Chain A
Amino acid sequence: MMDSIGLLTLITFSPLLGVLLLAFVPSNKAGTIKLIGVLVSFIPLILSFVMFSSFDSTINGMQFVEDFDWIQIPLADNAMIEFKYSLGVDGLSMPLVVLSAIVASMSAIAAVNMIKKRWKEYFILFFLMQVGLYGVFAAQNLFLFFIFFEITLITMFFLVGIWGLDKREDAAFTFLLYNGLGSAILLISFVVLLMSAGYYEGANGTTIFTTDIQTIIFNLNNSASPYELLGVGVSDAIKYGVFFALLVAFGIKVPLFPFHSWILKVHYQAPPPMSMILSGVLLKIGAYGLFRMNYGFFPEITETFSTLLIILGIINLFYGGILAFVQEDMKMVVVYSSISHVGIIILGLGAMNSFGFQGAVFQIVSHGLLASLFFYIVGVMYNRVHTTKFSELGGMAKTMPFTSGILLTGALASLGLPGMSGFISEFLTFLGLFENRPILAAISTLGVVLTTVYLLRSVLNVTYGPTAEKLTHVSDARSVEMIPMVVLVGFVILVGVYPAILSEPIQATLQLFLTRIGG
Chain B
Amino acid sequence: MLENAWLVPLFPLISFVLLVAFGRQLKEGAAYVGIVSLLSSFIVALGILFERLGHDAENYIQNFNWLTIGDKTLTVGFEITPLNALMLFVVTLVSLMVHIYSKGYMHGDERFPVFYTYLSLFTFSMLSLVISPNLLQAFIFWELVGAASFLLIGFYYFKPSARSAAKKAFIVTRIGDLGLLIGISLLFWQVGTFEYAGVFEAVEQGLVEPGFITLTAILIFIGAIGKSGQFPLHTWLPDAMEGPTPVSALIHAATMVAAGVYLVARTFPLFEASETAMYVVATVGGFTAIFAASIGLVQNDIKRVLAYSTVSQLGYMMLALGSAGFIAGVFHLFTHAFFKALLFLTAGSVIHAVHTQNIKEMGGLGKEMKITRAVFLIGALAISGFPGLAGFFSKDLILMSVYESGHVTLFWMALIAAVMTAFYMFRLYFLVFSGKPRHNANVHESPKNMTIPMIILSLLAIFAGYIEFFGFGEWITNNGVIAEEVEGPKWIMYLSIIAAFGGIALAWLMYGRDNKVKTGEPRGLHKLLFNKYYIDELYSTVVVRPYTIFGYVLKFFDKYVIGGLVQLSVWFSKAIGKIGSRLQNGQVQAYGLITIIGLVLLLVSLTAGRLLG
Query: Which residues of A come within 8 Å of B, CB atoms?
Result: 73, 75-76, 79, 81, 143, 146-147, 150, 154, 157-158, 161, 172-174, 176-178, 180, 183-184, 187, 190-191, 194-195, 209, 258, 260-262, 264, 319, 322-323, 325-327, 353-355, 358, 395, 397-398, 412, 416-419, 423-424, 427-428, 430-431, 434-435, 438, 441-442, 445-446, 448-449, 452-453, 456-457, 460, 463-467, 499-500, 503-504, 507, 511, 514
**Residues of B contacting A355 with CB < 8 Å?**
69-70, 72
* Inter-chain pairs besides A260-B562, A430-B181, A514-B70, 11 sampled, C-beta below 8 Å: A161-B588, A174-B570, A261-B566, A354-B70, A395-B157, A397-B157, A418-B141, A448-B177, A452-B174, A457-B167, A464-B158
For the complex, is B25 an interface residue (Cβ under 8 Å from A)? no
Closest to A507 in B: B68
Closest Cβ–Cβ distance, residue B488 to chain A (whole Å): 41
For the complex, is B583 an interface residue (Cβ under 8 Å from A)? no
**Which of A180, A184, A452 is most buried by chain B, counting CB atoms within 10 A of its CB?**
A452
Q: Is the CB of B610 within 8 A of A195?
A: yes
Closest Cβ–Cβ distance, residue B181 to chain A (whole Å): 6
Q: A81-B607, A456-B167 are in contact. Are A500 and B143 (CB under 8 A)?
A: no
Closest Cβ–Cβ distance, residue A250 to chain B (whole Å): 17
Closest Cβ–Cβ distance, residue A213 to chain B (whole Å): 16
**Which of A395, A428, A465, A507 is most buried by chain B, counting CB atoms within 10 A of its CB?**
A465
Q: A161-B588, A460-B167, A463-B157 are in contact. Are A154 and B596 (CB under 8 A)?
A: yes
Chain B 532-563 near chain A by CB (<8 Å), digits 1 or 0: 00000000000000011011101100100011
Q: Is the CB of A323 within 8 A of B551?
A: yes
**Residues of B contacting A143 with CB < 8 Å?**
603
A246 and B588 alpha carbons, distance in the complex (Å): 28
Q: A177-B573, A261-B562, A503-B68 are in contact. Are A323 and B158 (CB under 8 A)?
A: no
**Residues of A contacting B599 with CB < 8 Å?**
146, 150, 183-184, 187
Instruction: State which of B188, B554, B565, B570 has its C-beta within 8 Å of the C-beta of A173.
Output: B570
Some 17 contacts from A to B, beta carbons below 8 A apart, are: A79-B611, A146-B599, A176-B595, A177-B569, A187-B602, A195-B610, A319-B558, A325-B547, A325-B551, A326-B552, A395-B158, A412-B147, A418-B141, A419-B140, A457-B167, A464-B158, A499-B66
Q: Which 4 pairs between the two chains have the least Cβ-Cβ distance?
A: A354-B70, A326-B551, A418-B140, A464-B163
Q: Is the CB of A191 within 8 A of B606?
A: yes
The residues in B between 156 and 215 inclusive whose CB is less than 8 angstroms from any CB of A are: 157-160, 162-163, 166-167, 170-171, 174-175, 177-178, 181-182, 185-186, 188-189
A75 and B141 alpha carbons, distance in the complex (Å): 65
Chain B 553-596 near chain A by CB (<8 Å), digits 1 or 0: 01100100011011001100100000000000000110110011
Closest Cβ–Cβ distance, residue A471 to chain B (whole Å): 12
Q: Is the CB of A465 within 8 A of B554?
A: no
For the complex, is B525 an interface residue (Cβ under 8 Å from A)? no
For the complex, is B481 an interface residue (Cβ under 8 Å from A)? no
Q: Is the CB of A441 within 8 A of B163?
A: no
Q: Is the CB of B67 within 8 A of A503?
A: yes
**Residues of B contacting A418 with CB < 8 Å?**
139-141, 143-144
Q: A358-B69, A418-B140 are in contact. Are A460 and B171 (CB under 8 A)?
A: no
Closest Cβ–Cβ distance, residue B307 to chain A (whole Å): 21
A174 and B32 alpha carbons, distance in the complex (Å): 58
Q: A355-B70, A412-B147, A500-B68 are in contact. Are A466 and B569 (CB under 8 A)?
A: no
Instruction: State which of B143, B569, B612 has its C-beta within 8 Å of the C-beta of A76.
Output: B612
Q: Is the CB of B566 within 8 A of A174?
A: yes
Q: Is the CB of B588 within 8 A of A449?
A: no
A192 and B600 alpha carbons, distance in the complex (Å): 15
Instruction: State which of B71, B160, B171 has its C-beta within 8 Å of the C-beta of A466.
Output: B160
Closest to A173 in B: B570
For the complex, is B154 an interface residue (Cβ under 8 Å from A)? yes
Instruction: State which of A177, A180, A416, A453 has its C-beta within 8 Å of the C-beta of B570.
Output: A177
Q: Is the CB of B566 within 8 A of A262?
A: yes
Q: Is the CB of A423 within 8 A of B140?
A: yes
Q: A353-B70, A460-B163 are in contact. Are A326 and B174 (CB under 8 A)?
A: no
A21 and B600 alpha carbons, distance in the complex (Å): 29
Closest Cβ–Cβ distance, residue B520 to chain A (whole Å): 33
A158 and B588 alpha carbons, distance in the complex (Å): 8
**Residues of B contacting A464 with CB < 8 Å?**
154, 157-158, 162-163, 166
Closest Cβ–Cβ distance, residue A516 to chain B (whole Å): 15
Closest Cβ–Cβ distance, residue A449 to chain B (whole Å): 6
Instruction: State which of A73, A195, A323 has its C-beta within 8 Å of the C-beta of B555.
Output: A323
The residues in B between 222 and 246 inclusive whose CB is less than 8 angstroms from any CB of A are: none
**Residues of A contacting B166 with CB < 8 Å?**
456, 460, 464
A353 and B162 alpha carbons, distance in the complex (Å): 43
**Residues of B contacting A511 with CB < 8 Å?**
70
**Residues of B contacting A463 with CB < 8 Å?**
157
Q: Is the CB of B603 within 8 A of A434?
A: no
**Which of A76, A353, A431, A449 is most buried by chain B, counting CB atoms within 10 A of its CB?**
A431
A81 and B171 alpha carbons, distance in the complex (Å): 59
**Residues of B contacting A503 with CB < 8 Å?**
67-69
**Residues of B contacting A460 with CB < 8 Å?**
154, 163, 166-167
Instruction: State which of B163, B188, B606 has its C-beta within 8 Å of the C-beta of A431.
Output: B188
**Residues of A contacting B182 with CB < 8 Å?**
434, 441-442, 445
**Residues of A contacting B70 with CB < 8 Å?**
353-355, 511, 514
**Residues of A contacting B139 with CB < 8 Å?**
418
Q: Is the CB of B163 within 8 A of A465?
A: yes
Closest to B605 in A: A191
Instruction: State which of B67, B143, B189 has its C-beta within 8 Å of the C-beta of A417.
Output: B143
Q: Is the CB of B607 within 8 A of A456?
A: no
Q: Is the CB of B186 within 8 A of A467?
A: no
Q: Is the CB of B143 within 8 A of A150?
A: no
Q: Is the CB of B160 within 8 A of A465?
A: yes
Closest to B114 in A: A401
Closest to B147 in A: A417
**Which of B588, B607, B610 is most buried by chain A, counting CB atoms within 10 A of its CB?**
B607
**Residues of A contacting B158 with CB < 8 Å?**
395, 397-398, 464-467
**Residues of B contacting A353 with CB < 8 Å?**
70
Q: Is the CB of A419 within 8 A of B607?
A: no
Instruction: State which of A81, A157, A416, A465 has its C-beta within 8 Å of the C-beta of B157.
Output: A465
Closest to B185 in A: A434
